[in-house]
Chain A
């Protein structure tokens, strides 16, 4: 199939960029989206041109590296699919395809379609951990966990940190990511000691990083390749209220003794 690509090109270290047009006369419908870009890049290299930079790693939809806005949708037109798992059969002969990086102040563009998502790492560092005892591994299932909580925690833990939620949000908010990370620990007994300091610290870092303010559009949920639910955002809000005004006030310090 013949495609016309409009790709955001931005040199490394440059604050601005522009769209460039590329013809792709022979894309195969069995190609993955990234394979199609690989073919285009090979041609650019053969012509002595700078290939299009895009991030990728596992190409199995689980690492969260790949991510670009394809025709206005993070990860492209298919729901619950990462860009690497998108296939060219989702496009038609003659289509125009616009490729843009995630647009957010907290995600500066490194080059072309690659953005720096370290802001997410700093949110995780602020509270995405639990206190555990050292020593021998405990018996499996020694800690009883209600099935519903276990399922819900797993749903939240499905977040791969790709940043599609921020990219899709009209406000550039990172609430869905932060909510997923807070919930997958906060739903389990092992995550209780830091539950309330975690939400305060992670939300504080999220705000400091320059993400926008959530207005509950739900675009993040629609764009999320892992189907993370907006319900986790309500849970984050609830935990933050409790951490400030309710039960969580009593928990002042994380578990564990001083070094």
Chain B
């Protein structure tokens, strides 16, 4: 147990927890994106899908129970990921009290430099996103249970659609560095497939960006109505 506590106390151990929770959340956004694209199958199909999520695991789970189980795991992952992210951010801030006059940021990318602020931005957006399309209190015409209607009404506002696309762009940037970085943190490297890690992260980020952005853009163009 002494070793487990030393691991937890170390900066590396905290990052391993961030990497694991990061992969849980990555898995969620991939499933979420696939779910979103079902909007193109029509209102009836989409609402049946939304209802099926609530009925997931029946009859073992009661209505909505399995969904809540997933939500608790996701919320826990978000909290762990953010808590350690902020804690390590403070550690790094303390590590260089006096900055440089000239700083070139060697080999850094827009993605790697925006992980922390980007992460906070995504967290903030998710709260709004839940109020917009799950709780519905900031949606102009929210009908509980009619997911397709809520989606179309929600994204008819150009501001809401634009905010969504921007948030998804920040998310894609976060995942481009995050996926690669998490593999590195978990020590998943090997000379034979090292060169693939950046590529996999890039493909994942682009697929998610396009997949997510398609839905609000389609509503704006009147394809989904």
Contact between B6 and A172, CB atoms less than 8 A apart: no
Write out the residue numbers on chain A whose beta carbons fall within 8 Å of the beta carbon of B222. none
A105/B102 contact (C-beta < 8 A), A217-B108, A234-B188 known: no
A206 to B13, CA, bound (A): 13
Contact between B106 and A73, CB atoms less than 8 A apart: yes
A98/B101 contact (C-beta < 8 A), A173-B95, A214-B11, A216-B184 known: yes
Contact of B95 (CB < 8 Å), options: A172, A237, A239, A249: A172
Shortest distance from the beta carbon of B137 to any chain A beta carbon, whole Å:
36
- Interface of B, secondary structure class, is helix
Of the 9-residue stretches B72-80, B86-94, B123-131, which lies at the interface with chain A?
B86-94
Contact between A72 and B102, CB atoms less than 8 A apart: yes
Contact between A222 and B107, CB atoms less than 8 A apart: yes
Q: Is A113 part of the contact surface with B, judged by Cβ < 8 Å?
A: no
Shortest distance from the beta carbon of A249 to any chain B beta carbon, whole Å:
6
Contact between B106 and A244, CB atoms less than 8 A apart: no
Q: Is B4 part of the contact surface with A, judged by Cβ < 8 Å?
A: yes
For chain A, which range describes its interface: under 10, 10 to 19, 20 to 34, or 35 or more residues? 35 or more
A71 to B102, CA, bound (A): 6
Q: Which residue of A lies closest to B103 (CB)?
A: A72
Q: Is A236 part of the contact surface with B, judged by Cβ < 8 Å?
A: yes
A240 to B112, CA, bound (A): 24
Contact of B100 (CB < 8 Å), options: A69, A236, A245, A249: A69
Contact between A212 and B6, CB atoms less than 8 A apart: no
Contact of A237 (CB < 8 Å), options: B6, B9, B105, B185: B185
Write out the residue numbers on chain A whose beta carbons fall within 8 Å of the beta carbon of B89. 213
A98 to B104, CA, bound (A): 13
Write out the residue numbers on chain B whose beta carbons fall within 8 Å of the beta carbon of A173. 11, 92, 95
* Residue contacts A-B, CB under 8 angstroms, 6 given: A170-B103, A203-B10, A213-B88, A237-B186, A244-B3, A249-B3
Nearest 8 A-B pairs (CB), nearest first? Answer: A238-B187, A72-B102, A212-B95, A172-B95, A212-B92, A171-B92, A244-B7, A222-B106
Q: Chain A interface (Cβ within 8 Å of chain B)?
A: 6, 19, 69, 71-73, 98, 100, 103-106, 168, 170-173, 200, 203-204, 206-207, 210-219, 221-223, 230-231, 233-241, 243-245, 249
